[in-house]
Amino acid sequence: MKYLLALLFSTALLRPAFCQHRQQDVGDCTVFTIPSKGDSITFAVVAKRGELSKKKPIFLFRQGSLPIPLFTINPKTNRPALTELPTICYDHGAEYYSIMIAKPGLPLVVKDSYLDTLFSSRSTPKSTMYPPVYQSSNYLDYYVDQTNAVLQFVLSQPWADPKRVVLTGGSEGYHVAIKTAFTNRKVTHLIAFSGGLEGRQQSIIRQERMKGYTGESTQEEAQRSVEAWQQQWAAICQDSLNATATLGDPNRTTYSFSHGHNKDFLLALTIPICIAYGTADIGSTSNDILPMEFARRGKTNLTLKVYPNHDHTFHKLIYSPEGKVVNKVYNGTAVAKDYFEWLKRH
- Whether 251 and 265 map to the same domain: the answer is no
What's the half-sphere exposure (Cβ side, CA atoms, 13 Å) at 219?
1
- How many domains does the chain fold into? 2
Q: Are residues 77 and 33 in the same domain?
A: yes
Give the whole-angstrom CA distance, residue 330 versus residue 323.
19
Q: How far is CA 290 from CA 59, 141, 192, 274, in A?
A: 24, 23, 13, 11
CATH of the domain at 309: 3.40.50.1820
Q: What is the 3-state secondary structure (H, E, C) of the chain?
A: CHHHHHHHHCCCCCCCCCCCCEEEEECCEEEEEEEECCEEEEEEECCCHHHCCCCEEEEEEECCCCCCCCEEEECCCCEEEECCCCCHHHHCCCCCEEEEECCCCCCCEECHHHHHHHHCCCCCCCHHHCCHHHHHHCCHHHHHHHHHHHHHHHCCCCCEEEEEEEEEEECHHHHHHHHHHHHCCCCCEEEEECCCCCCHHHHHHHHHHHHHHHCCCCHHHHHHHHHHHHHHHHHHHHCCCCCCCCCCCCHHHHHHCCCCCHHHHHHHCCCCEEEEEECCCHHHHHHHHHHHHHHHCCCCCEEEEEECCECCCCEEEEECCCCCEEEEEECHHHHHHHHHHHHHHC
279 and 252 part of one domain: no
For residues 44 and 100, membership in a common domain is answered with: yes
pLDDT of residue 122: 56
Are 231 and 334 part of one and the same domain? no
Are residue 245 and residue 214 in the same domain, yes or no? Answer: yes
| Amino acid letter for position 194 | S
Judge residue 53's burial from the number of C-beta atoms within 10 Å of its C-beta, 0-12 exposed, 13-18 middle, 19 or more buried: exposed
Domain span at residue 233?
A: 200-258
Judgement on whether residues 335 and 282 belong to the same structural domain of the protein: yes
Instruction: Give the predicted TM-score (pTM) of the model.
Output: 0.92
> Is 76 found in the same domain as 59?
yes
Residue pair 301/275 in contact by the 8 Å Cβ criterion: no
CA proximity to 180, closest of 103, 271, 299, 250: 271
Per-residue pLDDT of the chain (346 residues; tens, 9 = 90+): 333 434 344 433 344 334 578 999 999 999 999 998 888 999 999 998 889 999 999 999 999 999 999 999 988 888 999 999 999 999 999 999 999 999 999 999 999 889 988 888 556 677 789 999 999 999 999 999 999 999 999 999 999 999 999 999 999 999 999 999 999 999 999 999 999 999 999 999 999 999 999 889 999 999 999 999 999 999 999 999 999 987 789 999 999 999 999 999 999 999 999 999 999 999 999 999 999 999 999 999 999 999 999 999 999 999 999 888 999 999 999 999 999 999 999 9
- 254 and 120 share a domain? no
Is residue 157 domain-shared with residue 82, that is, in the same domain? yes
pLDDT at position 282: 96
Q: How far apart (Å, rounded) are the C-alpha atoms in residues 65 and 172?
A: 5
As a whole number of angstroms, the distance between CA 192 and CA 331 comes to 17
Q: Mark whether 241 and 337 lie in a shared domain.
A: no
- Residue 171 has a CB neighbour count (10 Å cut-off) of 25
Strand partners, 64: none
Burial of 308 (0-12, 13-18, 19+ CB in 10 A): exposed
- Indicate whether 96 and 235 sit together in one domain: no
The pLDDT, as a whole number, for residue 116 is: 87
